[in-house]
Protein backbone atom coordinates (compact mmCIF):
# COMPACT_ATOMS: atom_id res chain seq x y z
CA UNK A 1 0.00 0.00 0.00
CA UNK A 2 1.29 3.47 -0.91
CA UNK A 3 2.75 5.39 2.05
CA UNK A 4 0.95 8.72 1.86
CA UNK A 5 2.77 10.04 4.93
CA UNK A 6 6.10 9.47 3.20
CA UNK A 7 4.85 11.17 0.01
CA UNK A 8 3.97 14.32 1.98
CA UNK A 9 7.05 14.04 4.17
CA UNK A 10 5.16 14.10 7.49
CA UNK A 11 5.03 11.79 10.48
CA UNK A 12 2.09 9.49 11.09
CA UNK A 13 0.97 11.62 14.04
CA UNK A 14 1.12 14.89 12.06
CA UNK A 15 -1.67 17.38 12.71
CA UNK A 16 -4.12 18.55 10.05
CA UNK A 17 -2.32 21.90 9.80
CA UNK A 18 1.06 20.17 9.33
CA UNK A 19 -0.38 17.99 6.57
CA UNK A 20 -1.95 21.01 4.89
CA UNK A 21 1.30 23.00 5.08
CA UNK A 22 3.34 20.11 3.64
CA UNK A 23 0.87 19.64 0.80
CA UNK A 24 0.85 23.31 -0.16
CA UNK A 25 4.64 23.37 -0.27
CA UNK A 26 4.88 20.26 -2.46
CA UNK A 27 1.96 21.31 -4.67
CA UNK A 28 3.70 24.59 -5.50
CA UNK A 29 6.98 22.81 -6.23
CA UNK A 30 5.51 19.96 -8.31
CA UNK A 31 2.77 21.77 -10.17
CA UNK A 32 3.21 20.99 -13.91
CA UNK A 33 3.18 24.70 -14.72
CA UNK A 34 6.20 25.15 -12.46
CA UNK A 35 8.11 21.85 -12.57
CA UNK A 36 7.10 20.81 -16.08
CA UNK A 37 5.02 17.92 -17.48
CA UNK A 38 7.42 15.32 -16.09
CA UNK A 39 6.30 16.21 -12.53
CA UNK A 40 2.62 15.54 -13.27
CA UNK A 41 2.62 12.03 -11.81
CA UNK A 42 4.30 13.17 -8.60
CA UNK A 43 1.85 16.05 -8.39
CA UNK A 44 -1.06 13.61 -8.66
CA UNK A 45 0.48 11.40 -5.97
CA UNK A 46 0.78 14.37 -3.64
CA UNK A 47 -2.80 15.42 -4.35
CA UNK A 48 -4.05 11.86 -3.74
CA UNK A 49 -2.12 11.65 -0.48
CA UNK A 50 -3.56 14.94 0.72
CA UNK A 51 -7.09 13.92 -0.30
CA UNK A 52 -6.85 10.92 2.01
CA UNK A 53 -4.91 12.36 4.96
CA UNK A 54 -6.84 15.63 5.10
CA UNK A 55 -10.13 13.80 5.58
CA UNK A 56 -10.56 12.41 9.10
CA UNK A 57 -12.63 9.39 8.03
CA UNK A 58 -10.40 8.51 5.10
CA UNK A 59 -7.27 8.91 7.20
CA UNK A 60 -8.70 6.63 9.89
CA UNK A 61 -9.53 4.02 7.26
CA UNK A 62 -6.05 4.34 5.76
CA UNK A 63 -4.37 3.96 9.16
CA UNK A 64 -6.35 0.74 9.65
CA UNK A 65 -4.85 -0.71 6.46
CA UNK A 66 -7.36 0.26 3.75
CA UNK A 67 -6.53 2.70 0.96
CA UNK A 68 -9.68 4.82 0.41
CA UNK A 69 -8.41 6.07 -2.96
CA UNK A 70 -7.38 2.71 -4.38
CA UNK A 71 -9.41 1.51 -7.43
CA UNK A 72 -11.74 -1.35 -6.57
CA UNK A 73 -11.48 -0.55 -2.91
CA UNK A 74 -15.21 -0.92 -2.47
CA UNK A 75 -16.62 0.72 0.60
CA UNK A 76 -13.09 1.02 1.96
CA UNK A 77 -11.89 2.60 -1.25
CA UNK A 78 -13.00 6.13 -0.46
CA UNK A 79 -16.72 5.60 -0.94
CA UNK A 80 -18.97 5.37 2.10
CA UNK A 81 -22.62 5.66 3.01
CA UNK A 82 -22.34 9.45 3.09
CA UNK A 83 -21.26 9.46 -0.56
CA UNK A 84 -24.16 7.19 -1.52
CA UNK A 85 -26.69 9.34 0.32
CA UNK A 86 -25.41 12.53 -1.28
CA UNK A 87 -25.31 10.98 -4.75
CA UNK A 88 -28.89 9.68 -4.74
CA UNK A 89 -30.54 12.38 -2.60
CA UNK A 90 -28.81 15.46 -3.96
CA UNK A 91 -26.60 16.27 -0.96
CA UNK A 92 -23.52 16.34 -3.15
CA UNK A 93 -25.05 18.87 -5.52
CA UNK A 94 -24.74 21.60 -2.92
CA UNK A 95 -20.96 21.07 -2.83
CA UNK A 96 -20.45 21.53 -6.55
CA UNK A 97 -18.87 24.68 -7.89
CA UNK A 98 -15.83 26.58 -6.64
CA UNK A 99 -15.68 27.81 -3.07
CA UNK A 100 -15.28 31.60 -2.75
CA UNK A 101 -11.75 32.35 -1.61
CA UNK A 102 -12.97 35.52 0.05
CA UNK A 103 -14.97 34.89 3.23
CA UNK A 104 -16.33 36.98 6.10
CA UNK A 105 -13.97 37.46 9.01
CA UNK A 106 -14.62 36.49 12.60
CA UNK A 107 -16.17 38.73 15.22
CA UNK A 108 -13.84 40.05 17.93
CA UNK A 109 -14.60 40.59 21.62
CA UNK A 110 -12.65 43.00 23.84
CA UNK A 111 -13.22 43.66 27.55
CA UNK A 112 -13.52 47.30 28.51
CA UNK A 113 -13.00 48.23 32.18
CA UNK A 114 -14.78 51.42 33.26
CA UNK A 115 -15.14 53.42 36.46
CA UNK A 116 -18.57 54.02 37.99
CA UNK A 117 -18.61 57.64 36.84
CA UNK A 118 -17.95 56.54 33.25
CA UNK A 119 -20.87 54.09 33.28
CA UNK A 120 -23.08 56.69 34.96
CA UNK A 121 -22.51 59.51 32.47
CA UNK A 122 -21.10 57.72 29.41
CA UNK A 123 -17.66 58.23 27.94
CA UNK A 124 -15.75 58.19 24.66
CA UNK A 125 -12.69 55.93 24.68
CA UNK A 126 -9.90 55.39 22.17
CA UNK A 127 -9.05 51.69 22.39
CA UNK A 128 -6.01 50.05 20.75
CA UNK A 129 -6.98 46.73 19.16
CA UNK A 130 -5.05 44.13 17.20
CA UNK A 131 -7.05 42.49 14.43
CA UNK A 132 -6.65 41.20 10.89
CA UNK A 133 -6.74 43.90 8.21
CA UNK A 134 -6.51 43.80 4.43
CA UNK A 135 -2.96 43.23 3.23
CA UNK A 136 -1.64 46.51 1.88
CA UNK A 137 0.70 44.79 -0.55
CA UNK A 138 -1.78 42.61 -2.44
CA UNK A 139 -5.02 44.42 -1.45
CA UNK A 140 -6.56 41.08 -0.51
CA UNK A 141 -5.83 39.29 -3.81
CA UNK A 142 -3.40 36.88 -2.06
CA UNK A 143 -1.05 37.20 -5.07
CA UNK A 144 2.30 38.88 -5.45
CA UNK A 145 2.02 42.29 -7.14
CA UNK A 146 1.71 41.91 -10.90
CA UNK A 147 0.35 38.35 -10.71
CA UNK A 148 -3.15 36.91 -10.44
CA UNK A 149 -4.86 33.63 -9.54
CA UNK A 150 -4.68 30.90 -12.16
CA UNK A 151 -7.47 28.55 -13.14
CA UNK A 152 -6.79 25.14 -11.62
CA UNK A 153 -5.45 22.66 -14.20
CA UNK A 154 -6.96 19.71 -12.37
CA UNK A 155 -10.59 20.77 -11.99
CA UNK A 156 -10.50 23.50 -14.66
CA UNK A 157 -12.06 26.05 -12.35
CA UNK A 158 -14.97 23.94 -11.15
CA UNK A 159 -13.56 23.51 -7.65
CA UNK A 160 -14.64 19.87 -7.64
CA UNK A 161 -13.54 16.65 -9.27
CA UNK A 162 -15.61 13.61 -10.18
CA UNK A 163 -14.60 10.01 -9.94
CA UNK A 164 -16.21 6.64 -10.50
CA UNK A 165 -16.39 4.46 -7.42
CA UNK A 166 -17.74 0.98 -6.96
CA UNK A 167 -20.25 0.20 -4.25
CA UNK A 168 -22.74 -2.52 -3.51
CA UNK A 169 -25.09 -0.56 -5.79
CA UNK A 170 -22.64 -0.77 -8.66
CA UNK A 171 -20.56 2.00 -10.19
CA UNK A 172 -21.59 5.53 -9.17
CA UNK A 173 -20.17 8.96 -9.87
CA UNK A 174 -19.09 10.95 -6.82
CA UNK A 175 -18.10 14.59 -6.53
CA UNK A 176 -15.45 15.86 -4.12
CA UNK A 177 -13.55 19.12 -3.59
CA UNK A 178 -10.48 19.39 -5.77
CA UNK A 179 -7.41 18.63 -3.69
CA UNK A 180 -5.16 20.65 -5.99
CA UNK A 181 -6.92 23.98 -5.40
CA UNK A 182 -8.75 23.20 -2.14
CA UNK A 183 -12.06 23.67 -3.93
CA UNK A 184 -11.43 27.30 -4.88
CA UNK A 185 -11.21 26.61 -8.61
CA UNK A 186 -8.03 28.68 -8.84
CA UNK A 187 -4.50 28.40 -7.53
CA UNK A 188 -2.09 31.09 -6.37
CA UNK A 189 1.12 30.46 -8.30
CA UNK A 190 2.99 33.31 -6.59
CA UNK A 191 1.57 34.02 -3.12
CA UNK A 192 2.04 37.47 -1.68
CA UNK A 193 5.15 37.47 0.50
CA UNK A 194 3.68 40.01 2.94
CA UNK A 195 0.60 37.98 3.92
CA UNK A 196 1.75 34.50 2.81
CA UNK A 197 -1.18 34.29 0.41
CA UNK A 198 -3.84 35.01 3.07
CA UNK A 199 -4.87 38.42 1.75
CA UNK A 200 -4.78 39.83 5.29
CA UNK A 201 -2.26 40.61 8.00
CA UNK A 202 -2.34 41.33 11.72
CA UNK A 203 -2.21 45.00 12.57
CA UNK A 204 -2.63 47.24 15.60
CA UNK A 205 -5.02 50.16 15.26
CA UNK A 206 -7.05 52.51 17.43
CA UNK A 207 -10.83 52.30 17.54
CA UNK A 208 -13.09 55.01 18.99
CA UNK A 209 -16.03 53.68 21.01
CA UNK A 210 -18.88 55.78 22.35
CA UNK A 211 -20.07 54.32 25.65
CA UNK A 212 -23.61 55.49 26.51
CA UNK A 213 -24.71 56.31 30.04
CA UNK A 214 -26.27 53.43 31.94
CA UNK A 215 -24.12 50.53 30.78
CA UNK A 216 -23.17 47.94 33.37
CA UNK A 217 -21.08 44.82 33.72
CA UNK A 218 -21.99 42.45 30.90
CA UNK A 219 -23.30 45.12 28.52
CA UNK A 220 -21.91 44.68 25.00
CA UNK A 221 -21.38 47.49 22.53
CA UNK A 222 -21.29 46.43 18.88
CA UNK A 223 -19.20 48.13 16.21
CA UNK A 224 -20.36 46.77 12.88
CA UNK A 225 -17.63 45.62 10.44
CA UNK A 226 -14.83 46.61 12.83
CA UNK A 227 -13.71 43.05 13.62
CA UNK A 228 -11.41 40.64 11.77
CA UNK A 229 -11.10 41.04 8.01
CA UNK A 230 -11.83 37.72 6.34
CA UNK A 231 -9.45 35.59 4.22
CA UNK A 232 -8.63 37.05 0.81
CA UNK A 233 -9.75 40.46 1.98
CA UNK A 234 -13.27 39.26 2.81
CA UNK A 235 -15.78 41.43 4.68
CA UNK A 236 -14.85 42.22 8.26
CA UNK A 237 -16.73 40.72 11.17
CA UNK A 238 -18.10 42.81 14.02
CA UNK A 239 -16.22 44.15 17.02
CA UNK A 240 -17.81 43.86 20.46
CA UNK A 241 -16.78 45.65 23.64
CA UNK A 242 -17.97 43.95 26.82
CA UNK A 243 -18.25 46.31 29.78
CA UNK A 244 -16.72 45.48 33.15
CA UNK A 245 -17.56 48.06 35.83
CA UNK A 246 -14.90 48.58 38.50
CA UNK A 247 -15.98 48.45 42.14
CA UNK A 248 -16.40 51.91 43.71
CA UNK A 249 -15.01 52.55 47.17
CA UNK A 250 -18.09 54.48 48.35
CA UNK A 251 -21.12 53.74 46.20
CA UNK A 252 -22.89 50.43 45.65
CA UNK A 253 -24.92 50.14 42.45
CA UNK A 254 -28.33 48.51 42.28
CA UNK A 255 -29.69 48.90 38.76
CA UNK A 256 -29.61 52.64 38.05
CA UNK A 257 -29.72 53.60 41.75
CA UNK A 258 -26.72 54.19 43.97
CA UNK A 259 -26.46 53.40 47.67
CA UNK A 260 -24.01 54.62 50.30
CA UNK A 261 -23.75 54.72 54.09
CA UNK A 262 -23.41 57.94 56.08
CA UNK A 263 -22.18 57.59 59.68
CA UNK A 264 -23.13 60.49 61.98
CA UNK A 265 -22.71 61.05 65.74
CA UNK A 266 -25.71 60.49 67.96
CA UNK A 267 -25.85 64.20 68.76
CA UNK A 268 -26.09 65.10 65.06
CA UNK A 269 -28.92 62.64 64.57
CA UNK A 270 -30.76 63.99 67.62
CA UNK A 271 -30.25 67.69 66.97
CA UNK A 272 -30.06 67.68 63.18
CA UNK A 273 -27.29 69.06 60.98
CA UNK A 274 -26.20 69.72 57.41
CA UNK A 275 -23.62 67.32 55.94
CA UNK A 276 -21.69 67.83 52.71
CA UNK A 277 -21.55 64.66 50.57
CA UNK A 278 -19.18 63.94 47.70
CA UNK A 279 -21.41 62.55 44.94
CA UNK A 280 -20.64 61.65 41.33
CA UNK A 281 -21.88 65.17 40.45
CA UNK A 282 -19.66 66.86 43.00
CA UNK A 283 -20.39 68.18 46.53
CA UNK A 284 -24.04 68.08 47.63
CA UNK A 285 -25.51 69.29 50.92
CA UNK A 286 -27.64 66.80 52.83
CA UNK A 287 -30.07 68.12 55.45
CA UNK A 288 -30.31 65.77 58.43
CA UNK A 289 -33.47 66.71 60.26
CA UNK A 290 -33.60 66.53 64.08
CA UNK A 291 -34.51 63.06 65.25
CA UNK A 292 -33.01 61.22 62.31
CA UNK A 293 -33.30 57.50 63.05
CA UNK A 294 -30.68 54.78 62.61
CA UNK A 295 -30.91 53.04 59.21
CA UNK A 296 -33.08 55.82 57.86
CA UNK A 297 -32.73 56.21 54.10
CA UNK A 298 -32.56 59.67 52.58
CA UNK A 299 -33.07 59.75 48.81
CA UNK A 300 -31.43 62.34 46.57
CA UNK A 301 -33.36 62.31 43.33
CA UNK A 302 -31.53 62.16 39.99
CA UNK A 303 -28.02 61.65 41.39
CA UNK A 304 -27.69 58.02 40.34
CA UNK A 305 -26.88 56.29 37.05
CA UNK A 306 -28.16 57.54 33.69
CA UNK A 307 -30.87 55.36 32.14
CA UNK A 308 -29.49 53.35 29.21
CA UNK A 309 -32.57 53.35 26.99
CA UNK A 310 -34.34 56.52 28.15
CA UNK A 311 -33.70 59.96 29.56
CA UNK A 312 -33.24 60.72 33.22
CA UNK A 313 -31.19 59.13 35.97
CA UNK A 314 -31.60 56.91 38.97
CA UNK A 315 -31.38 58.11 42.58
CA UNK A 316 -28.74 58.24 45.29
CA UNK A 317 -29.92 56.56 48.49
CA UNK A 318 -28.07 57.57 51.65
CA UNK A 319 -28.37 55.05 54.50
CA UNK A 320 -27.84 56.83 57.83
CA UNK A 321 -25.98 54.96 60.55
CA UNK A 322 -25.98 56.59 63.99
CA UNK A 323 -22.81 56.17 66.01
CA UNK A 324 -23.56 55.36 69.65
CA UNK A 325 -20.75 56.67 71.86
CA UNK A 326 -18.88 54.31 74.18
CA UNK A 327 -16.29 54.94 76.88
CA UNK A 328 -18.03 58.07 78.20
CA UNK A 329 -16.35 60.11 80.88
CA UNK A 330 -18.12 60.52 84.19
CA UNK A 331 -19.22 64.02 83.24
CA UNK A 332 -20.58 62.86 79.86
CA UNK A 333 -22.39 59.91 81.44
CA UNK A 334 -23.99 62.23 84.01
CA UNK A 335 -25.26 64.51 81.26
CA UNK A 336 -26.82 61.52 79.46
CA UNK A 337 -28.48 60.42 82.72
CA UNK A 338 -29.89 63.90 83.15
CA UNK A 339 -31.29 63.77 79.60
CA UNK A 340 -32.83 60.37 80.30
CA UNK A 341 -34.42 61.73 83.47
CA UNK A 342 -35.84 64.72 81.63
CA UNK A 343 -37.36 62.36 79.05
CA UNK A 344 -38.56 59.89 81.65
CA UNK A 345 -36.38 57.16 80.25
CA UNK A 346 -34.44 56.06 83.35
CA UNK A 347 -36.16 52.70 83.25
CA UNK A 348 -37.22 51.34 79.84
CA UNK A 349 -39.17 48.17 79.21
CA UNK A 350 -38.27 46.94 75.74
CA UNK A 351 -41.11 45.99 73.41
CA UNK A 352 -40.64 43.33 70.78
CA UNK A 353 -42.20 43.58 67.30
CA UNK A 354 -41.83 41.98 63.89
CA UNK A 355 -38.44 42.50 62.29
CA UNK A 356 -38.30 45.20 59.61
CA UNK A 357 -37.45 43.88 56.11
CA UNK A 358 -34.40 46.11 56.13
CA UNK A 359 -32.91 43.98 58.89
CA UNK A 360 -32.84 40.94 56.68
CA UNK A 361 -31.44 42.98 53.76
CA UNK A 362 -28.54 44.14 55.89
CA UNK A 363 -27.92 40.62 57.16
CA UNK A 364 -27.97 39.26 53.61
CA UNK A 365 -25.51 41.90 52.42
CA UNK A 366 -23.28 41.26 55.42
CA UNK A 367 -23.04 37.53 54.78
CA UNK A 368 -22.54 38.20 51.05
CA UNK A 369 -19.59 40.44 51.87
CA UNK A 370 -21.20 43.52 50.38
Q: Which residues are annotated as a binding site for Zn(2+)?
A: 135, 138, 152, 155, 178, 181, 192, 195
Spatial distance between the Cα atoms of 204 and 76, rounded to a whole number of angstroms? 49
The helix-helix angle for 40-53 and 56-63 (nearest 10°) equals 100
The annotated binding site is made up of: 135, 138, 152, 155, 178, 181, 192, 195
Q: In what order do the strands lie in the sheet with 316-323?
A: 252-254, 257-265, 316-323, 297-300
Phi, psi of 144 (to 5 degrees): -60, 150
Q: Is 152 in contact with 210 (CB distance < 8 Å)?
A: no
* CA–centroid distance for 337 within its chain: 66
Amino acid sequence: MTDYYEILGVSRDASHDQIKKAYRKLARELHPDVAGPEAEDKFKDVSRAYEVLSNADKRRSYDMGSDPSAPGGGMGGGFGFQDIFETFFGGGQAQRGPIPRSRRGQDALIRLDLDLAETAFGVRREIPVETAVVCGTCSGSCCSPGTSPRVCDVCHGRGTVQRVARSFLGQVMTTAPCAACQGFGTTIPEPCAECAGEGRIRSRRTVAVEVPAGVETGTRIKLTSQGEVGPAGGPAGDLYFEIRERKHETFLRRGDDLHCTLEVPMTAAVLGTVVELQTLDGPEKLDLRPGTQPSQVITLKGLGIGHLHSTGRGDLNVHVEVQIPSGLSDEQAELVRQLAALRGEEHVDGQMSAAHPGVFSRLRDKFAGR
